[in-house]
Every structure is written in structure tokens, then in C-alpha cells.
Amino acid sequence: MTTVLLTGFEPFAGAASNSSWDAVELVAEGWTGDAELVIELLPVTFAGASAAMRQLIERHSPDLVIGVGLADGRDAVTPERVAINVEDARIPDNDGDQPVDRAVVFSGQTAYFSGLPVKAIAARIAEAGIPSRVSDSAGTYVCNSLMYSTMAAVVGTDVMAGFIHVPCSPELAAGTGKPSMPVEDIARALAIAVEVSLEALIPDPDPLVE
């Protein structure tokens, strides 16, 4: 059976929740796909998130890995095109680590491109009436670090992997004036992203032949 690993993040920066994990949990609650869906909560720490992801990939041997993170201030679901080999934190992570211009992997390659069909994902989500677009920058915080580490972990294998940023929930954005999106819509978008990725990963075994 095909296995999908879908991860979200714990709250950080004093927030009460994290819409990435809230949405991932909703995806799991409504999951009816043929693939086995494994969800996991990751810490918002540079060292912990990457180490946990490597362990999860080793434990579950997934065919598809999608990390999900919160992008405060974004107004759309944004599949990330690229992760760069830089950790540079505006605020400390949940362990108090605040790197400046540190490599994710010492002597690692400069960047990794997503293995997900990012344009197809964004287009299908938008067709469903949910704002979505491809992002060319995953930032330099824990989300980028996790995406880079994930891609480094699966390079040279048949595992498809990538990362998607999602907006704040209305509860998180309350009183800030920042854009938000209902968690239910974020969950629908993530389910679509998984569906589109599986379609790309597993071609139709019985194509019509004239």
C-alpha cells in the first residue's frame, strides 16, 4: 500500500495553536483515500524538526512526504518550490535557538527543489475556490530548514517530497489585521495537494488505448 506522511507543527512564538497542525488533523479525520495516511506533529525547533522527520521517514518508509507549516501574513496556501541551505531566525525557535546565517547541512548543496507537482497543486486548489499560488521562498526559519532536510533525506530515492505553507487561522489572526483562512479550507487544500501528488506519483495503470 502507498504510504503518505503528512506533518504539521506545534504552536510557537507564544501562540495558542498552529493552523498547520490543526488542518493536518482535519485531513486525517476525513481521510478516505486508498493510501495509508500517517500524520505527525513536529517541534518548532531547528534541530528537533529535522531529526524527527528523518526518523519518521526511516520508520514509515513513505512514498509521499508533505511537510506543512504556518506562514504568518500569507493569504493563500502556497506550495514551496525551493528550500535553501540557510538558517537565519528572526525569532528564537521553541528551544531558544536563534541562528544567524547558519547552514542547514554543513557543506550541503545550495538548494533543493520540491519533488511535488507544485503548479498542479496550486492550480487544483484554486479551482476548488481556495486561494493558492506557488511560492519561491520558504524563508529561512524552521519550515525552510525542515524542507531542506527532508529533500536531502530522500534525494536519490523514489520518495516524492515537498513542503506547503498555509495561512493563519482566523483565531490566530484575530486583532492583528493579518490575513487568515478557515482551518476547514486549509484542510481541504491539503487533501487536494495529497490527491494531486498521488496522481503524479502513481500513473493510471489502465490508460485508454485507441
Is 29 noted as a catalytic residue in this protein?
no
- Distance between CA atoms of 55 and 149, rounded to whole angstroms? 12
Among candidate residues 10, 36, 60, 165, the one labeled active-site is 165
| C-alpha cell of residue 12 | 510557537
- Residue count of the chain: 210
Among candidate residues 10, 29, 80, 195, the one labeled active-site is 80
* DSSP H/E element including 161: strand 160-166
| Residue found under cell 519518521 | 56
Cβ atoms < 10 Å from Cβ of 136: 10
| 152 backbone dihedrals φ, ψ, rounded to 5° | -65, -35
Q: Give, in order, the Cα–Cα distances in Å from 152 to each of 80, 147, 155, 160.
A: 15, 9, 5, 12
Is 165 noted as a catalytic residue in this protein?
yes
Among candidate residues 29, 143, 168, 184, the one labeled active-site is 143
Helix (H, G, I), strand (E, B) or coil at 54: helix
* Conformational region of residue 26, where left means phi above 0, alpha means psi within -120 to 50, and beta covers everything else: alpha
Q: Is 107 exposed, middle or buried (0-12, 13-18, 19+ CB in 10 A)?
A: exposed
> Could you give the residue numbers annotated as active site?
80, 143, 165
